[in-house]
Each structure stands twice: as C-alpha cells, then as structure tokens.
Amino acid sequence: MELAIWPLRYRRVTLTLKFLLYLLSTDASVPTAAFTSILSLAKAGHPCWYTDLKHALAALPVPVALDHRVAPTIEGVNLLLAAVRSSLLRHLQVAITSRDKLEFWRATVFPSVGGASASLDDILTIRPYYRNSSVEQARHIVRVLTSATPFAIEILRYQNVPRSHRVCRFCRKRLCLETEAHLLLHCTHPILVAARTAAYRALLDSVPSRATLQARLSPERFFGRMLLDTLGDAAGTVATWIECVFERCKDVGVLTFESDESFLSLPEC
Ligand SMILES: [Zn+2]
C-alpha cells in the first residue's frame, strides 16, 4: 500500500485484460485470427487462454465473474477492469480493518487518507514520509506503522505470550500494553515523555499553526497528520522520535511474567 504497488495477481490480471482490449481493437490479421480461434475453443468448453483468464478472475480475493461463453466486447472488458479495481479496493479494506499488525496504521494514517471512504488511489500511493525522508528514516516510520518493532506487543507474539500479558516495560502497569500507540503517544514514563515532548516541540516550533491542529485532534490522528505533512521536516522529526523510542527499548528488557500471580501483582494503571 505504502509504495503504490498493486499485488502481483491483480497486476497480472489487469495486464491480461488490457491485452484483451488490444485484441478487440486491432485490425492485425494474425492476432485477430488467433483470438477468434481461442474464443471458439472457450465457447466449446475447452481449456484455453480465455478460460484461464476466467479462472484467474474467479481466484481473486474478491472474485470477479467472466462468462467465457459470451464473446467479449470493449465495453465489457472496461467493466471488468473497473470490477478488478473494486475487487482490489475491497480486498485492501478487509486487510486494513482486520489485521492486528496494521492497528497503528489504521489509527494514524488511515483516517488522514479518507478512512472507510478512501478510494483505491488514496490507499495505494507513495506518501510524503517516503518522499520527504531518508531511507533510514522511512524504515523507522514503516516499522512502526506495520508493527515490525522491538515492542512487547510484537516480539512476545512469537513466544505465544497472551496479548494481555505484553505489558509496557517502562510504566509496568497491568492495563498498559506495550503497543506502538502506548510507547509513542501515551506512556507516562519520564523517558518516553521526554522523547515525545522534544518531538512535539520541534514540530510546533517549525510550524506554530500546528498547535491548533494538535489541540483539535487525538494523539493518533495528529501523529498521522504529521507523517503526511509536507511542511518543514515533519516526517524526519517523527522518524527521529521513533528512533529515540527504539533506542530506549534497547536499554530496558522486555517485561515477562513467570506466573499469573506476578502479572496480577502489577498495579492496574
Ligand atoms: Zn508505558
């Protein structure tokens, strides 16, 4: 999504449909004769290039129907291309709303690009935090947005630790899960508050009118807006903030519990 790259199966089927448009519009005798032969095979129920296209469309995550017994038209193929775009949009919407690893992206960037009413072009685009930051900075941002972090919510997933037990290593409160949102935006431990305060100060000092935006939006929405902000070096500032939190996590080991009793002994919040 973040690099405006279509999934391979959607790219392949779209290219095939565009080739079909070419076959329907060309006057060249050889491809026209070959295509006529293929349509005859398909109409008779024999496997061929056109029936393969039907199966490829039906196998998309959100299937698209093609009747191989009916001769295609330019108008019909254009409708199929539109249906493939709709299929991809629906597929992405389901992925965005259902995957745990996109929870932070969903809370920060997604509302700023249109949320549930976002179009395919809104979702599949190269965003400012790629264009306006270095490779290293972009890597930090993407790691946070896709939950590829050294945070407990991610690394303890691979140790089969229940989600409710992936507690913040800094504030050590039972109800404070060590998520991207918690460490970056909500944790009250002085180390993380200092990193957050420095980032907010840099963002507001470079563009003072952002203070109004910050007062109006939730921390998650403001974070997302800063990633998409093209003024100054907003994305670079956010990347530095993320890197700082990553570094602080190296200094403090992740919190684990030997028993439910030790977990329950923590203060709630
Ligand atoms: Zn915390």
Quote the pTM value. 0.81
Cα–ligand 1 centroid distance for 98 (angstroms): 25
Q: What is the pLDDT of residue 20?
A: 94
CB–CB of 236/199 below 8 Å? no
Query: What's the CA angle centered on 183, arms 182 and 185, to 5 degrees?
Result: 65
**Mean pLDDT per 10-residue section of the chain, whose length is 269 residues:** 86 96 91 91 90 96 93 95 97 90 92 88 87 87 93 94 94 94 96 96 95 96 93 90 95 90 85
Identify the residue whose tokens are 């790259």. 5
Q: Mutual orientation of helices 103-112 and 219-228 as an angle, nearest 10°?
A: 60
- Alpha-carbon distance of 55 to 176, in angstroms, equals 48
pLDDT given for residue 27 in this prediction: 87
Q: What is the pLDDT of residue 216?
A: 95
- Domain chopping of the chain, boundaries: 8-98, 128-264
- Cα(196) to ligand 1 centroid in Å equals 13
pLDDT at site 113: 85
Spacing, Cα 172 to ligand 1 middle (Å) = 6
Nearest in space to 133 (alpha carbons), one of 37, 215, 28, 226: 226
**What is the distance between the terminal CA atoms of the chain, rounded to a whole angstrom?**
36
The Å distance, Cα 183 to ligand 1 centre, comes to 6
Span from the CA of 266 to the centroid of ligand 1 (angstroms): 13
114: left (phi over 0), alpha (psi -120 to 50) or beta: left
Residue located via tokens 């203060």 = 267
Q: Cα–Cα distance between 54 and 66 in angstroms, integer?
A: 5
pLDDT value of residue 127: 87
Instruction: Measure 197 CA to ligand 1 centroid, in angstroms.
Output: 15
* In contact, 49 and 17? CB cutoff 8 Å: no
DSSP 114: T
Q: 246 CA distance to ligand 1 centroid (A)? A: 14
Expressed in angstroms and rounded, the spacing between residue 194 Cα and the centre of ligand 1 is 13
- Residue type present at position 250: K
